[in-house]
Homo-oligomer: A and B are copies of this chain.
Amino acid sequence: MPLSYTEENYIKAIFKLSEKDDQPVNTNAIAKSIATTAASVTDMIKKLSEKGFVYYERYKGVTLSPEGKSVATQLIRNHRLWEVFLVNKLQFGWDQVHDLAEELEHIKSTDLINRLDTFLGNPKFDPHGDPIPNREGKFTLRNQTTLGTLLTDQTGILVGVREHTTPFLAYLNGLNINLGTELKIIERIQFDRSVKVQINGKEMSMFTEQVSQNLFVKLK
């Protein structure tokens, strides 16, 4: 029996919450992440545990099994390839594609996805700079820091964004900031850790710490 969209969404949520540290994930964290109740999460986790996608011990949180991780990686591959399609081929903005990719990612056909990959020229990163896992599930790593770590007079090239929400991306659009944009630190305000930044050698702008922490850059 194939997994339902709902089951897949739980697996994805668990993957994202344990991505960094690979630690067990709390019931409440999952509930918040997919806007449901703790009770529903407990029910679903039991089911996923019986099916072998997660390891679960009552009151102790949940971790993905290798099968679960594989499902999550596949979904992320699907999602990011569809985002590339929507932006590069259908001319959507990077702030418009998340919800559509969220639906498209559930169409389960490795043949479809591999053909799409080929059609798009085997991209390594999606429109937000996130790495696209390959057929074997391997992610391309990239050395990146956040804009917040750069020193005065250093220039970073935008290679990714942490936040994917429409408001944040639309804000960047308003400043003509895209992947590849050069951001030069003109001044750092100690008081609130905001920074004055020059964009592509032209306009100046102020970024709060919250903004600069959400911008991934590589040093020019």
Cα–Cα distance between A188 and B216 once the two chains are bound (Å):
72
Which residues of A, 99-149, contact B by the 8 Å Cβ criterion? 100, 103-104, 107, 109, 112, 115-116, 119
Task: Give A89 to B119 CA distance when docked, in angstroms.
Answer: 7
Tell me, in angstroms, the Cα distance from A89 to B92 when the chains sit together.
Answer: 18
What would 13 A/B residue contacts be, using CB atoms closer than 8 Å?
A: A86-B112, A89-B119, A90-B112, A90-B115, A90-B119, A91-B115, A92-B115, A100-B107, A100-B109, A100-B112, A103-B107, A104-B104, A104-B107
Write the chain B residue with the least CB distance to A116.
B90
Q: How many angstroms from the CA of A107 to the CA of B86 in the assembled complex?
A: 14
Considering the chains assembled together, what is the distance between the CA atoms of A11 and B186 in angstroms?
60
Question: Copy number of this protein in the oligomer?
Answer: 2
Contacts of A92 in B (CB 8 A): 115
Count residues of chain A with CB under 8 A from any CB of chain B.
14
CA separation between A110 and B129, bound complex, in Å? 27
Q: Give A114's nearest chain B residue, CB to CB.
A: B90
**B residues within 8 A CB of A109?**
100
Q: Please, how many angstroms separate the alpha-carbon atoms of A100 and B110 in the complex?
A: 11
A103 and B90 CA atoms in complex are apart in Å by: 19
Distance (Å) between the CB of A116 and the closest chain B CB? 6
Identify the closest chain B residue to A109 (Cβ): B100
Nearest opposing residue in chain B for A112, CB measure: B100
Which residues of chain B are within 8 angstroms of A103 by Cβ–Cβ distance? 107
Determine the distance from Cα of A97 to Cα of B105 in the docked complex, in whole angstroms: 17
Least CB distance from A9 to B in Å reads 16
Residues in B neighbouring A119, C-beta threshold 8 A: 89-90
Interface residues in A76-101 by Cβ distance below 8 A to B read 86, 89-92, 100
Report how far A86 CA is from B119 CA in the complex, Å: 11
CB distance from A96 to the nearest CB of B (A): 8
User: Which residue of chain B has the shortest Cβ distance to A108 in the bound complex?
Assistant: B103
- The CA-CA distance from A22 to B191 in the complex, in Å, is 73
Distance (whole angstroms) from the CB of A157 to the closest CB of chain B: 29
